[in-house]
Structure 1
Amino acid sequence: MIRGVRGAITVENNIEAEILSATESLFKEMIKANKIKAVDVASVFLSVTDDINAAFPAKVIRMQEDWTYVPVMCMKEIAVPQALEKCIRIMMHWNTELRQDEIQHTYLEKAIQLRPDLTKQ
């Protein structure tokens, strides 16, 4: 069965190195928390807020060992007034037998406020 695994992180600056580093940290934490293998992933969508445009965050995922053939795509988040700024979100579509309530979603930095109910302290 395909399940969605969500994650989000914020950056302080719209700088390529910071965007890629934050994306890699978030991605690796999602993988670790759920013991995800690339071969079991159908696709990965990444979205960024309007204030992030210095890099494609998907670049980091494509560079990971075993992830070359996983479809990865970047897109823009809806520009809602007063929404969290400088935020990178990941939605990973993963083949797993886990129930939805067993999946560990990952929210880091200021993105914790997006889903405090899913964030383990």
Structure 2
Amino acid sequence: MVRGIRGAITVKQNDGAEMVEATERLIADMIEQNKIDPDSVCSAFISATNDLDAMFPARALRELKGWEYVPVMCMQELSIKGGLEKCIRIMMHVNTEVAQKDIRHIYLEGAVVLRPDLQQSTN
């Protein structure tokens, strides 16, 4: 069965190195909390708000050993007035037998405001 695993993190500035570092941290937490093997991942969508254009955040996933064959797409998040700024979001589609209610969605830094009802990660 395919399940979606969400994650999001904010950065302080539009800096490529900071964006990659934050995305690496988010991905590592998603992998650890959900025990994800790259062979079980169907695809990953990574979005960034329009104020982040210094780097493709997908670069962080591409640098992980074993993840080079996972289909990844970067895109720009919708620009909504009053929306969270400097935010990177990830949606992974993973083959798993884990129940929907047991999936651990990860929200770090300022992104905890997006889904406080799902907040399960230590920040």
**Number of the residue aligned with 2:27:** 27
Cα distance, 1:99 vs structure 2: 1.0
Provide the alpha-carbon RMSD of the alignment: 0.6
Q: Distance in 2 between matches of 1:60 and 1:85?
A: 20
1:59 is aligned to: 59
Aligned sequence identity (%): 55
1:12 alignment counterpart: 12
SS at the partner of 2:7?
A: strand
Code of the residue aligned with 1:108 in structure 2: it is: L
Residue aligning to 2:84:
84
Per-residue CA distance 1:87-115 (angstroms, 9 max, x = gap): 00000000000111010000000000000
Give the ranges of 4+ consecutive aligned residues of structure 1 lying more than 6 Å apart after TM superposition.
none
Using structure 2 for the length normalisation, give the TM-score: 0.97
- For structure 1, the residue ranges without an aligned partner over 5 or more in a row are none
Aligned residues: 121
Counterpart CA distance in 2 for 1:60 and 1:29 is 13
Give 5+ residue unaligned stretches, structure 2: none
